[in-house]
Structure 1
Amino acid sequence: MISADRLRGHVAALVANGPRCGDLPGVPAALRYITDELSSLGLVVRVERYGGELHDVNLVAEIEGGTSDDAVELCAHWDTVEDTPGADDNASGVAGVLEAARALRDLDLPARTIRFCLFGGEEDGFQGSTAHVGQITPGTESIVFEMIGRTSPTQAAPSFLLDPPTVGDFIALVADPASAGLADAFASAAAPNLPTFPLIIPVEAMDVVLRSDHVPYWASGRRSLLVTDTAEYRNPDYHQPTDTLDSLDLDFAARVTAAAVRTITRLAG
């Protein structure tokens, strides 16, 4: 069972030392926390360096698969922009990955490896995920948590959507056409406890959603699903100092994480 209280504890620890960017104290504190949490689950944490700065780091752990070289990855970026504690963006996503790892660690040997990826450099052009995608097999696919902690009585939407939801009580599932099956799988796993809004993006609307770590997967022809509370379309604290723990709905985040666990269990075989 995914615990909202444990999610709260993860977010609290991640935001405690301020923004997670550059050479700020929040960076080493977050990296230590993520490493310690995954290690406490009995997982081996691998450091992927993609640049010369101390913050140019991905943290990766996995449950090894039995019969396939390909993996199913659950991903989130740990970094923030300046001047925000980044509770929703994206401590909520990191917390979800950590709790999913807890739920999946005792899974009987899956056919495909299950990999947990915490990326740096998302806020600087997806640097960490771009480097990571260059190292994985062509059949590896991913679910990317990008802000999973906000609900709202109101909901905005991009202009290309016809009759979009007006209440922010759902999780958006954003896919390119090749990844539509991932959106279907997640929506099925989420029902009936979590409303979803699957969105298969047409080419003419791609610029609206090319904003997170799913982008390098799509660009390389791999399947990836963006799972998001829709950022500024719902969250007025997006990239602001007010993106704090007390603004989050962690029961909602727990339901999102539970749906991801069920989806990954099915995908990994």
Structure 2
Amino acid sequence: MSLHKSPALLLCLALLGTTSCSEKPLLEGARMDRLGELAGQVEQERLMGLVRELVTAHQEDTPVFCSEFQDVQDEVVRDTFCHLTRDRSGALMQSRLESLGLRVQRHDASNGGPFTTSNIIAELPGTTRPWEVVLVGAHFDAFYGGADDNSTGVAAVLELARVLSQYRFERTIRFVGFDLEELGLVGSGRYVEEALGPDQIVASVVFDCIGYYSPVPGSQRSIPGLPSPSSGDFLAVIGNDVSTRRASELYALNEALQLTNVVPILAPADGASPVGGNLMRSDHTPFWLTGRDALFLTDTANFRNPNYHQKTDTVDTLDPVSFRRTVQVSAAALAFWAGGPQ
């Protein structure tokens, strides 16, 4: 999650009954038996194995930028950026997606800036409406080993690619690895500006820090201006006005399948407000700012996890059971939005 109040910001626990703002029932056409079966194929040991591989890749990699930050006065920030890596984790993500038989490409861009980004894009083509896209992504750059931030997010994308590629869907499902999120959403910003083209994004999910949970009272700090439960044992599903229905659908799917503890949070309009700033610290933000549908799934990072951007962000601090459940509900939602499984 990147380093970076309106009263209308809502903790949306009541939002989500059987309908949203439209009259269309939330889960119309959903085959809950099929969605539950698909979600059940998410494997905990595969997820944790992927996280371990990604952490090792970061630990064995050469930091991308260090000299560029030598003049930064804040010693903590300067030292942290000397531990930012991405090359080996990106290569691992690309090779795993290719091994599934997906069409994979790189989106390279510099925009005249000092940092070149290389996003990873893989697709499972839709059968009847391939121009309509359901997107799931996570950033693959990380500080130190980056177990929670964001090896959990990358592992989730890879496990979802494995599970979903066993089926076919009406819409295309796109799996994206965003580069250099930690420098200020650089890769996702360039992706939205340059690589989306005419495709219609009908739903998208961004993962960032989804593996740290604690049932201990007081383990969850509130985002300023927004009350929250006191225990960090929930998945935050963060949306805005455009993505309200998708948040409602994900919540309803989770209620039907009884997978995990979901707390939906909605920011008004495009999210850009004094309080909303803390809800815009990952790669969903460029989607929001261009009027596109996007949900941000997170364990809330530094508002819960004391290891955020520290050497102590290690695999043994994660909760494998809750992590798997987060990926399971995501699998069901993505399959539903994509018009399947077939």
Under TM normalisation by the shorter chain, which class is it? over 0.9
The alignment partner of 1:61 has SS state of strand
The answer on 1:261 being equivalent to 2:321 is no
Shift >6 Å, 4+ stretches: 52-55
Match of 1:167 among 217, 220, 231: 231
Q: In structure 2, do the counterparts of structure 1 residues 28 and 53 end up closer, same or farther at CA, with 3 Å as the change threshold?
A: farther
Q: Within 1, Cα distance between the matches of 2:114 and 2:174?
A: 24
Structure 2 residues not aligned, in runs of 5+: 1-40, 66-82
How far apart in 1 are the matches of 2:96 and 2:114? 23
The structure with the largest alpha-carbon Rg is 2
**Structure 2 partner of 1:48:** 107
TM-score by length of 1: 0.92
Query: Quick check: 1:188 aligned with 2:188?
Result: no
Q: CA deviation at 1:90?
A: 0.3
Q: Which blocks of at least 5 consecutive residues in structure 1 are unaligned?
A: none
Aligned 8 A contact 2:85 2:141 in 1: no
**Structure 2 Cα separation of the partners of residues 15 and 115 of structure 1:** 24
Choose which of 188, 205, 209 in structure 1 pairs with 2:275.
205
One-letter code of the match for 1:218? W
- Matching residue of 2:124: 63
User: Is residue 226 from structure 1 mapped to residue 288 from structure 2 by the alignment?
Assistant: no
- Using a 3 Å threshold, how does the CA distance of structure 1 residues 25 and 181 change in structure 2: closer, same or farther? closer
Question: Which residue number in structure 1 is paired with residue 75 of structure 2?
Answer: none
Show CA shifts across 1:11-44 (max 9, x none): 1111113357516895332122112211111112
Tell me the residue number matched to 1:80. 142
Q: Which moved more, 1:136-145 or 1:88-97?
A: 136-145
Match of 2:176 in 1: 117
What code does the residue aligned with 1:12 have? R
The aligned counterpart of 1:105 is: 165
The residue aligned with 2:190 is 131
Alpha-carbon distance in structure 1 between the residues aligned to 2:122 and 2:321: 26
**Following the alignment from structure 2 to structure 1, what is the Cα–Cα distance between the partners of residues 145 and 260?**
27
1:18 maps onto 2:53 in alignment = no
Alpha-carbon shift at residue 68 of structure 1 (Å): 4.3
Instruction: Return the offset for 1:102.
Output: 0.7
Identity %: 35
Once the two structures are TM-superposed, the CA of residue 70 in structure 1 deviates from its matched residue by 2.2
Q: CA deviation at 1:139?
A: 3.0
TM-score normalised over the length of structure 2:
0.73
Aligned CA-pair RMSD:
2.0
1-side partners of 2:114 and 2:316: how far apart? 32
Aligned residue-pair number: 265
| Residue identity in the other structure for 1:155 | Q
Q: Is the Cα contact below 8 Å between 1:17 and 1:25 reproduced in 2?
A: no
- Cα deviation for residue 159 of structure 1 reads 3.0
Conserved 8 A contact 2:118-2:179: yes
Mapped to 2, the partners of 1:54 and 1:126 lie a distance apart of 12
Tell whether the 8 Å contact from 1:133 to 1:217 is kept in structure 2 after alignment: yes
Offset of residue 54 of structure 1: 8.6
| Cα distance, 1:39–1:68 mapped onto 2, change above 3 Å | closer
The separation in 2 between residues aligned to 1:157 and 1:74, in whole angstroms, is 27
